[in-house]
């Protein structure tokens, strides 16, 4: 079946820029093959010799071009849809779905539930496999795509069906066997719901998944996020301190067992469980290279270690600098730790005053305590009238990737205008934290 992709332009100095290709033209085939989506396009770009079939917008003629290029060099076509296909929406109705808990009035894209396996490779998304056809599996095996990130939650078929509200959710996990046999690298996550898939169910899930080592490199356990907007949804309760301790006891016991047998800790609890339990964040070596740091697993340990290294390397500038004041805003969960780090930084740089402000999440509800879900409205309302100094530093994860917009569509410039203070972003790096906040004083 013919599948066409509208071209909007070409990249400057690319092979395509030298061809008679204009905006509005359609890509018909590459090397006599129909291009289904970006996966096919990227795979075919590995060739040094490419035949390009274009349908001209001007007169509808099909024109063929032959291109000789470097291996893996992109042809340089820019498409109307970067993905070269439509995103696939989720077919599940998970009892823990965060999107179902969004407040009304947000931008439309925040209500779209994706469960597209292709996004797992392109953007690192976690997928449930319920939306994956046999054709999708065959393409993954054909292209040797890795890693694929899988939302497992439970390996007991009936329990997984109940959690995802999808009668196919139990058998969907059989696809993991095919990936394992083909040597496809995988990572998995478990969104843990109190009284649902914890306890003995968690034990069963870890045991079942450990059979896929080493192709399955890591499994994270993260607590369900509960907003204030759960009317009519499955009754879930947050984890308390004792609950978190029980989860960590299971995780640590399995880590010891699997490290002895396989040389990997494999199963990892997110930082939030350690904070809830009041336990120390584990040492760096237990995170097996931080395979799931973007999932909140080991992020604090990495940050602390980088902070220590940066502070050890940093030297105060030899000349006197006038006293300065700045401020830092963060989520409730990280506040005690950020405060402690700022106190250490101030002891190193006595002429620097840092005020740290915890921001309560009134937008989603006070149960949401992570900084990545803070909104501009909450930041502005809670910092009005506060002493902010010359710069307000904000965590980088409050922003959409590559943009300066927050979840509630406020821009950094809106915050600056409302609070009458310069704002700056600090990424999740201890090095950047030290050098940005103490930059005027350190060399």
DSSP for 143-180, written as a single string: HT---EEEE-S--SHHHHHHHHT-TTHHHHTTHHHHHH
Average pLDDT over residues 47-64: 92
User: Do 200 and 349 lie in a common domain?
Assistant: no
Whether residues 281 and 162 share a domain: the answer is: yes
For residues 292 and 312, membership in a common domain is answered with no
Cis previous bond, 57, omega within 30: no
- CATH classification of the domain holding 44: 2.30.42.10
Helix, strand, or coil (residue 422): strand
Q: Which domain holds residue 180?
A: 99-296
The predicted model gives 156-180 an average pLDDT of: 95
pLDDT band at 321 (very low <50, low <70, confident <90, very high): low
- Mean pLDDT (the chain, rounded): 90
The reply to whether 172 falls in a domain is yes
Residues 6+ apart with CB under 8 A from 187: 147, 148, 149, 150, 216, 217, 218, 219, 220, 291, 292
pLDDT of residue 90: 82
Residues 410, 383 within the same domain = yes
Whether a cis peptide bond, with omega within 30° of 0, leads into 268 is: no
How big, in percent rounded to 5, are the helix, strand and coil portions of the chain? 35, 20, 45
Task: Give the model's pLDDT for residue 362.
Answer: 95
Cα gap 47→104, rounded to integer Å? 48
Residue 319, pLDDT above cutoff 60: no
Helix or strand run (H / E) with residue 28: strand 26-30
Q: Based on C-alpha coordinates, what's the Rg of the chain?
A: 25
Task: State pLDDT tens for residues 334-366.
Answer: 999 999 999 999 998 888 999 999 999 999 999
Nearest to 128 by CA among 158, 100, 84, 89: 89
**Domain contains 193:** yes
- CA 218/CA 209 separation, integer angstroms: 9
Q: What is the dihedral of CA 242, 244, 249, 250, to 10 degrees?
A: 120
pLDDT at 318 over 60: no
CATH of the domain at 134: 3.80.30.10
Query: Which residues sit opposite 423 in a β-bridge?
Result: 392
Segment 21-33, tens digit of pLDDT: 999 999 999 999 9
pLDDT confidence of residue 46: 83
Selected residue with higher pLDDT from 276 and 314: 276
Say if residue 268 is in the same domain as residue 133.
Answer: yes
Residue 81 pLDDT > 70? yes
| Interatomic CA distance for residues 188 and 181, integer angstroms | 17
Rounded CA gap, 1 and 125, in Å? 29
Domain end residue (candidates: 79, 107, 134)? 79
Q: Would the pLDDT of 112 be above 70? A: no
The CATH code of the domain that includes 339 is 3.40.50
432 and 349 together in one domain: yes
Taking Cα atoms as reference points, which of 402, 425, 401, 427 lies closest to residue 412?
Answer: 425
Which of 28, 45, 79 represents a domain boundary (last residue)?
79
What is residue 104's predicted lDDT score, i.e. its pLDDT?
A: 83
Give yes or no: residues 287 and 241 share one domain: yes
Statement to judge: residues 267 and 310 lie in one domain: no
């Amino acid at each position: 079946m013919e599948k066409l992709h509208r071209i909007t332009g070409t990249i400057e100095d690319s092979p395509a820029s030298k061809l008679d290709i204009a905006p509005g033209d359609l890509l018909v085939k590459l090397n006599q093959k129909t291009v289904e989506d970006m996966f096919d396009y990227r795979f075919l770009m590995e060739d040094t010799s490419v035949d390009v079939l274009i349908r001209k917008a001007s007169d509808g003629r099909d024109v063929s071009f032959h291109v000789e290029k470097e291996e893996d060099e992109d042809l340089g076509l820019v498409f109307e849809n970067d993905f070269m296909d439509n995103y696939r929406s989720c077919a599940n109705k998970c009892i823990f779905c965060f999107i179902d808990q969004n407040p009304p009035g947000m931008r439309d894209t925040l209500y779209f539930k994706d469960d597209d396996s292709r996004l797992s490779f392109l953007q690192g998304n976690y997928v449930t496999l319920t939306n994956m056809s046999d054709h999708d599996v065959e393409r993954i095996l054909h292209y040797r795509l890795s890693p694929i990130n899988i939302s497992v939650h439970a390996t007991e078929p009936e329990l997984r069906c109940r959690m995802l509200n999808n009668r196919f959710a139990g058998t969907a996990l059989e696809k993991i066997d095919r990936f394992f046999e083909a040597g496809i690298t995988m990572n998995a996550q478990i969104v843990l719901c109190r009284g649902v898939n914890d306890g003995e169910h968690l034990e069963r899930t870890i045991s079942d998944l450990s059979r896929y080592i080493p192709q399955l490199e890591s499994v994270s356990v993260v607590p369900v996020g509960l907003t204030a907007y759960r009317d009519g949804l499955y009754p879930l309760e947050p984890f308390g301190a004792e609950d978190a301790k029980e989860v960590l006891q299971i995780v640590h016991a399995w880590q010891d067992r699997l490290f002895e047998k396989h040389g990997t800790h494999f199963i990892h609890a997110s930082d939030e469980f350690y904070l809830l339990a009041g336990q120390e964040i584990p040492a760096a070596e237990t995170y097996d290279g931080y395979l799931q740091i973007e999932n909140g697993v080991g992020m604090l340990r990495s940050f602390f270690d980088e902070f220590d290294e940066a502070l050890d390397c940093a030297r105060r500038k030899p000349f006197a600098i006038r006293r300065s004041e700045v401020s830092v805003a963060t989520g409730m969960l990280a506040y005690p730790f950020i405060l402690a780090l700022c106190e250490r930084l101030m002891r190193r740089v006595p002429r620097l005053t840092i005020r740290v402000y915890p921001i309560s999440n009134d937008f989603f509800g006070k149960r949401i305590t992570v900084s990545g879900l803070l909104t501009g409205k909450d930041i502005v309302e809670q910092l009005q009238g506060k002493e902010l100094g010359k710069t307000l530093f904000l965590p980088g994860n409050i922003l959409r990737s590559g943009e300066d917009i927050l979840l509630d569509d406020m821009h950094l410039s809106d915050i600056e205008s409302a609070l009458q203070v310069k704002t700056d972003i600090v990424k999740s790096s201890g090095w950047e934290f030290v050098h940005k906040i103490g930059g005027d004083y350190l060399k």
